[in-house]
Structure 1
Amino acid sequence: MNWLLVIIGSMVGAPLRYLTDRAVQLGHDTVFPWGTLVVNVMGSAILGLLTGAVAAGHASPHLQLLIGTGLCGGLTTYSTFSYETVRLTQTGAGFYAAVNVVASVAAGLGAAFVGVAFTQALWR
């Protein structure tokens, strides 16, 4: 049963990643990978909210598999982040590569911490 929850979540997360990435990137005329940054921060925020809800006893481990492992696993993409950062470096856009690394790590961790803090404050 658990594997089915992960598969269902992934079936939603992966296309959502692709469509969100394309929509965001089309709105920006730059080499900076805004689409990947957005999906990774969104996934981190969702996972932070879910982790806080599970820790507070307001979400089940099954929901954690469906949304956390499945949806967020399909939505977020460390491999694309890595590839795009390497490509920026190879094409001479080292500044954008550095900004991508710093912004992705800071915003991703920040979104996760805010999500957990929000659910902790909500269910105190």
Structure 2
Amino acid sequence: MTALWVGAASVLGALARFALDAWFTRRRRPTGVSFPVATLVVNVAGSLLIGWCYGLLDGGALGARAYPVAAAGLAGGLTTFSSFSVASLTLFLDGRRWAAAVNVTANLALGVAAAALGRLLAA
């Protein structure tokens, strides 16, 4: 039964990611900015959510069955390692090596910081 809840939460996370990406894409066209901001935002938000859930689990406020639904399901569906990887590679191959390095560094540093903040907020 947990697997079904994880799957349902994954659908919600993926739909939220799609909506955010579409929103950022509409906002980006007039400016011509082609940095993968939406991917960075969903990855940081998902890291914050997972960190918060981990803190709640560790403190006993979130059950062992609810954790995978929220973390692997909702946050896992929201975040996207594959889009991050392709965006970074595309920036690099387009000769935008500085932007590729910023994208990799920002996703890693902000993701870890967001997870730590989420855990701290749950305490």
TM over 0.5: yes
Counterpart among 70, 75, 90 of residue 73 in structure 2 = 70
Shift of 1:86: 0.2
Which residue matches 2:13? 13
RMSD (CA atoms) = 1.0
Identity %: 37
Look up the SS of the partner of 2:49 in the other structure. helix
Write the distance in 2 (CA, Å) between the matches of 1:26 and 1:102: 25
Aligned residues: 120
Shift of 1:87: 0.3
Structure 2 stretches lacking a partner, 5+ long: none
Q: Indicate if the aligned counterparts of 1:25 and 1:34 stay in contact, CA closer than 8 A.
A: no
> 57-66 or 20-29, which moves further after superposition?
20-29
Structure 1: which 4+ aligned runs deviate by more than 2 Å? 24-29
Instruction: Tell me the TM-score normalised to structure 2 length.
Output: 0.93
Structure 1 stretches lacking a partner, 5+ long: none
Write the distance in 2 (CA, Å) between the matches of 1:31 and 1:24: 10
Counterpart among 26, 33, 36 of residue 36 in structure 2 = 33
